[in-house]
C-alpha cells in the first residue's frame, strides 16, 4: 500500500497567520493517465470530512482561495494564506491513484 506521511501532527496558528502542511507518499502518485490524484480534506469537529483540493492544486467549488495545493510525484503541500477560525480541524491528504487508496494520519490545526 502507498503510505502517506503527513507533517506536522499538529499545528498551532494565530488567526490571520499562514499555515502549511506537508504530505509525502511512499511512491509516485502520477497515474497511467498522467494525472496525480492527490486530495486534501478538512474534518471539522463532529462533522464528515470535506474535500478542499483535488488533482494536487484544484480547489473544489466554494473553497476560498486562501487555500492552495502544490507538489508533484511524492511531495505535496497544503497552504493556508491567512488562517480563519473556520479552518480549525483535522486535515488529511488522500491518494486516489493507486489501490487501495490511502489517507495520511492527519494534521490537527488549532488556534494559538
Residue 103 CA from chain centroid, whole number: 10
Nearest-angstrom CA–CA distance, 75 and 27:
10
Grid cell of 102 as nine digits: 490511502
Residue 37 CB, nearest approach to another protein (Å): 5
For residue 15, state whether it binds another protein (rule: CB under 8 A): no
For residue 32, state whether it binds another protein (rule: CB under 8 A): no
- The piece of 7-15, 67-75, 80-88, 94-102 that touches another protein (CB under 8 A) is 94-102
- Exposure string (b/e) for 1-39, b if CB count within 10 Å is 16 or more? ebebebeeeebebeeeeebebbbbbeeebeeeeeebbbb
CB 109: neighbour CB atoms within 10 A? 20
Residue 100 CB, nearest approach to another protein (Å): 4
For residue 3, state whether it binds another protein (rule: CB under 8 A): no
For residue 55, state whether it binds another protein (rule: CB under 8 A): yes
Q: Which is nearer to another protein, 16 or 34 (CB)?
A: 34
**Contact (CB, 8 A) for 10 and 110:** yes
Residue 99 CB, nearest approach to another protein (Å): 5
The contact set with another protein (CB under 8 A) reads 35, 37, 39, 41, 48-51, 54-55, 60, 92, 94, 96, 99-106
Amino acid at each position: 500500500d502507498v503510505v502517506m506521511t503527513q507533517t506536522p501532527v499538529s499545528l498551532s496558528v494565530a488567526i490571520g497567520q499562514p499555515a502549511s502542511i506537508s504530505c509525502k507518499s511512499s511512491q509516485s502518485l502520477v497515474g497511467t493517465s498522467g494525472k496525480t490524484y492527490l486530495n486534501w480534506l478538512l474534518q471539522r469537529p463532529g462533522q464528515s470530512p470535506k474535500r478542499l483540493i483535488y488533482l494536487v492544486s484544484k480547489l473544489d467549488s466554494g473553497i476560498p482561495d486562501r487555500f492552495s495545493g502544490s507538489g508533484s510525484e511524492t511531495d505535496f503541500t497544503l497552504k493556508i494564506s491567512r488562517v480563519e477560525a473556520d479552518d480549525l480541524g483535522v486535515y488529511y491528504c488522500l491518494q486516489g491513484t493507486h489501490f487501495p487508496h490511502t489517507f495520511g494520519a492527519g494534521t490537527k490545526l488549532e488556534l494559538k
